Amino acid sequence: MLESYIPIFMMLALGVAFAVAMGKINEIVGPKRPSEEKLSTYESGMEPVRTARERFSVKFYMVAMLFIIFDIEVVFLYPWAVSFRSLGIQGFVTMLIFLSILLIGYYYVWRKGALEWD
Amino acid sequence: MDLLEPIIKIAVVLGALLTASAIVVLFDRKFSAYIQNRYGPNRVGPGGWMQSIADVVKLVMKEDIVPKAANRFVHDLAPMISITVALTTFAVIPFGDTIPLFGKEYNLIIADVNVGILYILAMTGMGVYGLTLAGWSSNNKYSLFGGLRSSAQLISYELSMGLSLIGVIMIAGTLQIDDIVRSQTGYWFGWIPQWNVISQPIGFITFFVASFAETNRLPFDLPEAEPELVGGYHTEYSGMKFGLFFLSEYANMIVSSALITALFLGGWHLPFAETWGLDPLVLALLKIGAFMFKMFIIISFYVVIRWTLPRFRYDQLMNLGWKVMLPVSIANVLATGVVMLWLTR
């Protein structure tokens, strides 16, 4: 069973080799004429102000957390979907209960305004 | 296990994928040009057909600029992640029926793993890292915002992407993509092909929309929205490292069109081709042709959409992902379950 993954690893190795080779060729062939201005951070021609290592909107963290919650739900759905036919009505009702618990959470998140961007 | 067979397949697929990416880049530019009533690239080679090759040569010859403030290692790593992920995802997608060659049947799939769909989702999840790390490592505000936006966008739409596949898996009862394609080769009433696009129309639409978001195509190209973010996550990239991002974007487009074809449009299935009484080899080649034709239709659709719809605002994008696509795809799962139980009662 596991040996069906061997080609994937071979392809992965070839993909990495392609990426590294392209980078290396670029490094060898391309010119190297660094200057102070060229190596400074691009800010539409202005003098760069401070670094980009600063705080950013908490919304992005919120999205990441919500993603983890709902993605785990999706992961639970996969094995259920594969064996859906053999589980029959009982399996469907079980999943219905699971989904409704999650949908309550989803409704709560929505009402709390966590899905709003402004 | 014979290693020669996968090596040949991988070489052919990688070569085809890279060539196809170059062709799709050109096709995108030409088609866009005709939509906008201009000529597009027409100087390099007859009708401009060599433009992509010229572009690659040019990018390789360019200086690779890494800004002083950037994190050098991660800056180098990010485009490699992007291109590797884009090229390797194709490994589990079957691009043809078994083909008889030299008295042996060959499967036209690189790795027929039993969790093909999970592999695809894992790989698209890995793709997020490329963009996010590129945005962060450049230490540029435009890049950072581009990277943040793209990671938020990709993970939001990955949910509906994963959920819209559940219906397909329920019908096929397997995660193996080859088996999913085979489950679509029958006919309803003897003449309607059992493609998932007919039994799963809502899943098809949500997956299609999510695939636009996953490939950063317009109307979902906020990570690199030119008027506001310059180039987004690849603002600070130049030379072939930029080229790798560019290439991976188009390779991703090809992979998603192949995925849509395999999961919803019957893959290599050519309706009624079995009844034409053709030579098995010709039939197998015709099926590969059918697969490529379906992919071509979807890629053309990508380009047409690009020049039809304006870019979303970010709040509209998140609203669509979380408040429309997510509930719709969950409802689709439940509806599929009810219908399947009703049909098998």
- Are B61 and A30 in contact (CB < 8 Å)? yes
In the numeric block, the tokens 């008027």 are attached to B227
List the single best residue of A54, A84, A110 to mutate versus B (max B Cβ within 10 A): A84
pLDDT < 70 regions, chain B: 1, 225-227
Q: Is B156 exposed, middle or buried (0-12, 13-18, 19+ CB in 10 A)?
A: buried
Tokens of A30: 């391309």
Q: Which of residues 296-335 of B touch A (CB under 8 A)?
A: 314-315, 318-319, 322-323, 326-327, 330, 333-334
- Residue A45 pLDDT exceeds 80: no
- Are B9 and A7 in contact (CB < 8 Å)? yes
Chain A residues touching B1 at Cβ < 8 A: 3, 6
The residues that bridge with B100 in the sheet, in sequence order, are: B105
Tokens of B84: 């590797």
Q: Which of residues 88-117 of B touch A (CB under 8 A)?
A: 88, 91-92, 110-114, 117
- Residue A54 pLDDT exceeds 90: no
Question: Of B62, B87, B173, which has the smallest distance from its Cβ to A82's Cβ?
Answer: B173
Q: What is the number of residues in chain B?
A: 345
- Are A8 and B88 in contact (CB < 8 Å)? yes
- Give residue B226's pLDDT: 67
Instruction: Look up the ipTM and state it.
Output: 0.88
- Give residue B183's pLDDT: 87
List the single best residue of B120, B155, B230, B248 to mutate versus A (max A Cβ within 10 A): B155
- Are A12 and B88 in contact (CB < 8 Å)? yes
A81 to chain B, minimum CA–CA distance in Å? Answer: 5
- Are B84 and A16 in contact (CB < 8 Å)? yes
Which listed CATH number (1.20.58.1610, 3.30.2290.10, 3.40.718.10, 1.10.150.120) goes with A2-112?
A: 1.20.58.1610
Instruction: Please compute, for residue A9, the number of CA atoms within 13 A of its CA located in the half-sphere on the CB side.
Output: 6
A7 to chain B, minimum CA–CA distance in Å? Answer: 6
- Are B333 and A66 in contact (CB < 8 Å)? no
Question: Of A12, A71, A78, which has the smallest distance from its Cβ to B169's Cβ?
Answer: A78
B330 to chain A, minimum CA–CA distance in Å? Answer: 9
pLDDT, greater one: A47 or B166 = B166
Nearest-CA neighbor of B127 among B161, B88, B71? B88
For B127-180, write each residue's pLDDT tens digit.
Answer: 888 888 888 888 888 888 888 888 888 888 888 888 999 989 998 888 888 888
Closest chain A residue to the Cα of B92, Cα to Cα: A8
Confirm if A51 and B69 have CB atoms less than 8 A apart: yes
B80 touches chain A (CB under 8 A): yes
Tell how strand B192-193 and strand B187-188 pair up.
Answer: antiparallel
- Give residue A63's pLDDT: 86
What integer best gives the mean pLDDT of chain A? 85
Percent of chain A with pLDDT over 70: 98
Nearest-CA neighbor of B223 among B147, B152, B159? B147
Chain B residues touching A106 at Cβ < 8 A: 326-327
- Give residue A93's pLDDT: 92
- Are A25 and B240 in contact (CB < 8 Å)? yes
- Give residue B1's pLDDT: 55
- Could you tell me the pTM of the whole model? 0.90
Sorted by where each begins, the domain ranges of chain B are: 4-343
B161 touches chain A (CB under 8 A): no
The Cα–Cα gap between B243 and B238 comes to 8
- Give CA torsion, residues B324, B330, B332, B334, to 10 deg: -150
In the numeric block, the tokens 């919120």 are attached to A62
Count of A-B CB contacts under 8 Å = 210
- Residue A97 pLDDT exceeds 90: yes
- Are A14 and B10 in contact (CB < 8 Å)? yes
